[in-house]
Amino acid sequence: MRRTPREEALSARLVTRRTVFLGGVQLAVAGTLVWRMRDMQLNQADQFRLLAEENRINIRLIPPTRGLIQDRNGIVIAGNEQNYRIVMVREDAGDVDLVLERLQTLIALSDDDIERAHRDVMRNRPFVPVTIAERLEWEAIARVAANAPALPGITPEVGLSRHYPMVEDFAHSVGYVGPVTERDLEALEAPDPVLQIPRFQIGKIGVERRMEDRLRGTAGSRRIEVNAVGRVMRELDRIDGTPGSNVTLTLDARLQNFVQARLAGESAAGVVMDVQNGDLLAIASAPGFDPNLFVRGISVPDYRELLEDPYRPLVDKTVQGMYPPGSTFKMVVALAALAAGETSASERVFCPGHMDISGHRFHCWRRGGHGRMNMVSALSESCDVYFYEMALRIGIERINEMSARLGLGIRYDLPMSGIAAGLNPTREWKQARRNEAWLVGDTVNASIGQGFVLSTPLQLAVMTARLATNRAVLPRLVRDAGEDDAAARQARALDLNPEWLALIKRGMSECTNHARGTAYSTRIVDANYRHAGKTGTSQVFSITRAEREAGIRRQEDLPWNRRNHALFVAFAPEDAPRIAVSVIVEHGGGGSSAAAPIGRDIVLAALHGDMPPLSAYPASQRNRIETQMGELSSRLRPLASGGSDRA
């Protein structure tokens, strides 16, 4: 529209005015923007920089190398093995199915494995490495590496995994590791973040569990840059962790192997202890199991088999198994009677084969009776009536007192799992547990290690060591670094009258070396190795009246789980004791027949340091023993002497 110059001027003035106003508004808005930039980029820059770094940087832990567990000579009991595995990165693989198919022709993979691998690969982001197979042989890895061009996206990797070269020998004492579970984490107050690493291994039982802190070490870390979807772009830096400390045990792998092999086939336990310093030289429970199965994650059928085995291979019978000590308890009663002044070396007690106490007849194991017995012959021939008499004189309290003094009924602090305390039964205990009054018959039963008395094989070994040395020997499983002065380790004195002890030791010596002794058939004829011991046979079920009337059945006629436990304890050499041994064969029948032969072989192996020498056995037995040992040595593990071959 045409306008007059006046109108034009008016319009121009108006536009100019409003444009200037708008310009001012725009400047104000720009000012606000600058103020905001200043606020974010200058005032809060540090916080935002931190957030950006948190975005971009992830910390990945590097698992530490677990410390080794070695025997007293440095032989590796628990080591770390190279674990070769195959991983696949989907985005590098291209055709996943084709690559898996090719892989199947090179390494042993079942169709199920392939299916699982395919699922895992597809479920993860394309750049995430997925483990296809692990614990492969070196040859399989070499085959895969040689065919690398045909296998895009496949890389062989190597990690470390726990390995137990001694298989079942240390399954109970050393235990095993396994993948961390929720329960493991809940049990810890402040779990180490390293435990969150997938498939990280933690000690489950035994030394592996109890000394976890020393063995584990501390994790290293690497800082890596990741992008928004978590892909690793590069490693920024790396802090190496510290490997776990090695643990040296007092055990002797060679002896342990011998004991384990000697016990094989029985449900049994054997303990060998250095009487001077308490070092456990062997602590074996049979049957064993392969701890390596647990490291890999044991299969359900394998685990069920172990659980359902009547010989209970998963139980460590040396420290967890509590047994009536039977006649091996008689040394305690004898010493208690001497200490109480209720008897003397020369006193004789007549054994007619039984004793009637408050209307109940207590039998001696020998129906016809032993005749007149003194303390030495009562121990040697294991006369029950003699000890019934002693028990009646001194009562349960004084028996318990001596029992505790000799190391029974005490829970020892060893790095093993489920250590039992055993039981020295008291009046109060019976009242509290059974709500029954203590009867004199209970004392009588206790005098021959029956009734309520319970001991572990470890405790019986400690008792024997204390009898041999008159010192309060304490068992020890781990050697502390830098300290192995035997004198410094010597236990405090037990302060028993040496004359009493000499009497007890003579009783034990005659038990193994006197023609009338219960263990005479398993004597050692080599004077350097001669041992002094005591057999024990403890009833699991009392013989019923009906059975008695039908004539006492022989042990062999009873079902296995109703047979008596067989026990044997000994120290050797008898003149200058070095070792104490205890053996228990569950439902073995009799101490002299089932436990004493094992005990003798162990004593000889421990003292000789190798297979027992044939010359130590009585000449008449050598042929039989030779065959037996030949068979046994074929089952022994060849051991590299000292040093470690695995790292």
The binding site for other proteins (CB under 8 A) comprises 1, 3, 7-8, 10-12, 14-16, 18-19, 22-23, 26-27, 29-30, 32-34, 36-38, 40-42, 44-45, 47-49, 51-53, 55-56, 225-229, 233
Cβ 198 to other proteins shortest distance, Å: 24
What SS3 class is residue 188?
coil
Identity at 478, one-letter amino acid code: V
Burial of 134 (0-12, 13-18, 19+ CB in 10 A): middle
What SS3 class is residue 308?
helix
Beta strand segments in 25-75, E:
57-62, 69-70
Cβ 110 to other proteins shortest distance, Å: 39
Cβ 55 to other proteins shortest distance, Å: 5
Alpha helices in 107-240 (DSSP H): 111-123, 138-146, 182-187, 206-210, 212-216
Does the N-terminal peptide bond of residue 573 adopt cis geometry, omega within 30 degrees of 0? yes
Cβ 17 to other proteins shortest distance, Å: 9
Structural tokens at position 55: 């975005």
Q: Of 62, 324, 53, 47, whose CA–CA distance to 218 is shortest? A: 62
Question: Cβ closer to other proteins: 53 or 631?
Answer: 53
Q: Of 285, 294, 293, whose CA–CA distance to 315 is shortest? A: 285
Cβ 92 to other proteins shortest distance, Å: 20
Question: Cβ closer to other proteins: 35 or 560?
Answer: 35
What SS3 class is residue 265?
coil
Identity at 409, one-letter amino acid code: G
Considering the candidates 173, 267, 327, 593, report the single residue annotated as catalytic: 327
Burial of 126 (0-12, 13-18, 19+ CB in 10 A): middle
Question: Cβ closer to other proteins: 30 or 122?
Answer: 30
604 with 562: CB under 8 angstroms?
A: no
Cβ 32 to other proteins shortest distance, Å: 7
Question: Cβ closer to other proteins: 27 or 185?
Answer: 27
Cβ 6 to other proteins shortest distance, Å: 10
Both ends of the chain: CA-CA distance in Å? 99
196 to 59, 60, 199: CA distances (angstroms): 13, 11, 8
408 with 422: CB under 8 angstroms?
A: yes
List the Cα angle 594/598/604 in 5-degree steps.
Answer: 155
Question: Cβ closer to other proteins: 126 or 191?
Answer: 126
Integer Rg of the chain from CA? 37
Identity at 178, one-letter amino acid code: G
Structural tokens at position 486: 């035997």
Question: Cβ closer to other proteins: 235 or 302?
Answer: 235
Question: Cβ closer to other proteins: 230 or 609?
Answer: 230
Alpha helices in 449-574 (DSSP H): 457-469, 498-513, 545-549
Question: Cβ closer to other proteins: 28 or 145?
Answer: 28
199 with 210: CB under 8 angstroms?
A: no
Cβ 28 to other proteins shortest distance, Å: 11
Q: Of 330, 334, 360, whose CA–CA distance to 345 is shortest? A: 334
CA–CA distance, 205 with 414 (Å, rounded to integer): 12
616 with 604: CB under 8 angstroms?
A: yes
Q: Which residue has the tokens 């402040």?
A: 190
Cβ 120 to other proteins shortest distance, Å: 25
Identity at 385, one-letter amino acid code: V
Question: Cβ closer to other proteins: 3 or 360?
Answer: 3
Q: Which residue has the tokens 């049994």?
A: 268
Q: Which residue has the tokens 């990945």?
A: 60
List the Cα angle 369/375/378 in 5-degree steps.
Answer: 30
CA–CA distance, 540 with 518 (Å, rounded to integer): 20
Cβ 34 to other proteins shortest distance, Å: 6
9 to 2, 19, 23, 198: CA distances (angstroms): 13, 15, 21, 82
CA–CA distance, 474 with 491 (Å, rounded to integer): 7
Question: Cβ closer to other proteins: 193 or 230?
Answer: 230
Cβ 240 to other proteins shortest distance, Å: 26
Question: Cβ closer to other proteins: 7 or 139?
Answer: 7
Q: Confirm whether 403 is a catalytic residue.
A: no
Question: Cβ closer to other proteins: 225 or 290?
Answer: 225
Element (H, E) at 280: strand 280-286
Catalytic site positions: 327
